Structure 1
Amino acid sequence: MYWICFGDSAKGLLRYVRRDLDDAAHILAIGDDYSQGDITDVTDRDARYPVLAPWRGDPELDGDRLEEQIGRHFAALDQLDKVDEAVIWYAGGNPCEQCGLRYVVSRLQQRQIPVWVVEVGWIPVSEIAQANDRVRDTSAVGVITDSHVMNTLLRLVPQPILRRYAARVEQRNLRERAAQSSRAGMAYFSTVGETAPNILPYFYKRRRMLTETEQAILLTEWKRMQEENTPLRAMVDGKLQSVPADYYDDIILSCVPEGENVAALTVGRAIAKLDKTGNRVGDMQIFSRIRALSTAEKLIIVRDGATYRDMVIRKIRG
Structure 2
Amino acid sequence: MIEVVFHESAAGSLKLAQGYRRGKFRTSPKSVFVGSGKNGESRGLLRQEKEQERLACEEAVPFGGTAADIFAFHLMLSVGDISGDGVCRRRLETLNCMFGMYPEGAGSSAAKEIFDRACKDLETIRQRLDAGEQVRIWYSSHPDEMCGLHWFLTQLVQDMPSTKVSIVKLPDWEIKEQTLAVHTGWGEVDPDEWHRYANLQKEVSPVFVSAAASKWRQLQEENAVLRAVINGRLFSVPEDFYDHFIRSEIENQNDEFQEGQLIGRILGKYQLGISDGWLAMRIEKMIENGKLQIITNAPSDCPAYHRVIRKIT
Q: TM-score if structure 2 supplies the norm length?
A: 0.75
Structure 1's 311 and 121: CA in aligned 2 closer, same or farther, altered over 3 A?
A: same
Q: Would the aligned equivalents of 1:263 and 1:313 in 2 still touch at CA under 8 Å?
A: yes
Match among 55, 78, 85 for residue 123 of structure 2: 78
Deviation (angstroms), 1:258: 3.0
Mean Cα deviation higher: 14-23 or 222-231: 14-23
Letter in 1 for 2:136: V
Report what 1:300 is aligned to.
Answer: 293
- Structure 1 residue ranges without an equivalent (≥5): 130-174, 179-185
* CA distance in 1: counterparts of 2:152 and 2:87, whole angstroms: 16
Structure 1's 35 and 283: CA in aligned 2 closer, same or farther, altered over 3 A?
A: same
Structure 1's 122 and 310: CA in aligned 2 closer, same or farther, altered over 3 A?
A: closer
3-state DSSP class of the match of 2:106? coil
Report what 2:223 is aligned to.
Answer: 229
Q: Would the aligned equivalents of 2:170 and 2:186 in 1 still touch at CA under 8 Å?
A: yes
Q: Would the aligned equivalents of 1:301 and 1:311 in 2 still touch at CA under 8 Å?
A: yes
Q: Would the aligned equivalents of 1:263 and 1:309 in 2 still touch at CA under 8 Å?
A: yes
Does structure 1 residue 270 correspond to structure 2 residue 270?
A: no
Structure 1's 243 and 124: CA in aligned 2 closer, same or farther, altered over 3 A?
A: closer
Mean Cα deviation higher: 281-290 or 12-21: 12-21
Instruction: Report 1:237-256 matches (<5 A).
Output: 237-256=231-250
Deviations 1:196-231 (A, max 9, x none): 011111111111111222212211110110000000
Letter in 2 for 1:300: Q
* CA distance in 1: counterparts of 2:281 and 2:220, whole angstroms: 23
3-state DSSP class of the match of 2:168? strand
Match among 132, 148, 172 for residue 100 of structure 1: 148
What is the identity percentage for the equivalent residue pairs of Structure 1 and Structure 2?
26
Q: TM-score if structure 1 supplies the norm length?
A: 0.74
3-state DSSP class of the match of 1:241? strand
Deviation (angstroms), 1:46: 4.2
3-state DSSP class of the match of 1:88? strand
* CA distance in 2: counterparts of 1:244 and 1:230, whole angstroms: 7
Report what 2:17 is aligned to.
Answer: 17
Letter in 1 for 2:267: I
Rg larger for: 2
Mean Cα deviation higher: 186-195 or 56-65: 56-65
Mean Cα deviation higher: 188-197 or 292-301: 292-301
Letter in 1 for 2:99: W
Deviations 1:95-120 (A, max 9, x none): 10000000001111352211111111
Structure 1's 2 and 191: CA in aligned 2 closer, same or farther, altered over 3 A?
A: same
Q: Would the aligned equivalents of 2:6 and 2:72 in 1 still touch at CA under 8 Å?
A: yes
Deviation (angstroms), 1:67: 3.3
Q: Would the aligned equivalents of 1:251 and 1:273 in 2 still touch at CA under 8 Å?
A: no
Deviations 1:167-204 (A, max 9, x none): xxxxxxxx8xx3xxxxxxx3121110111011111111
Deviation (angstroms), 1:26: 0.8
Does structure 1 residue 39 correspond to structure 2 residue 65?
A: no
- Structure 2 residue ranges without an equivalent (≥5): 20-61
Letter in 2 for 1:18: Q
3-state DSSP class of the match of 2:139? strand
Structure 1's 4 and 21: CA in aligned 2 closer, same or farther, altered over 3 A?
A: same
RMSD of aligned alpha carbons? 2.3
Letter in 2 for 1:260: E
Report what 1:135 is aligned to.
Answer: none
Mean Cα deviation higher: 282-291 or 210-219: 210-219
* CA distance in 1: counterparts of 2:191 and 2:87, whole angstroms: 34
Equivalences, count: 257
* CA distance in 1: counterparts of 2:201 and 2:291, whole angstroms: 45
* CA distance in 2: counterparts of 1:101 and 1:216, whole angstroms: 12
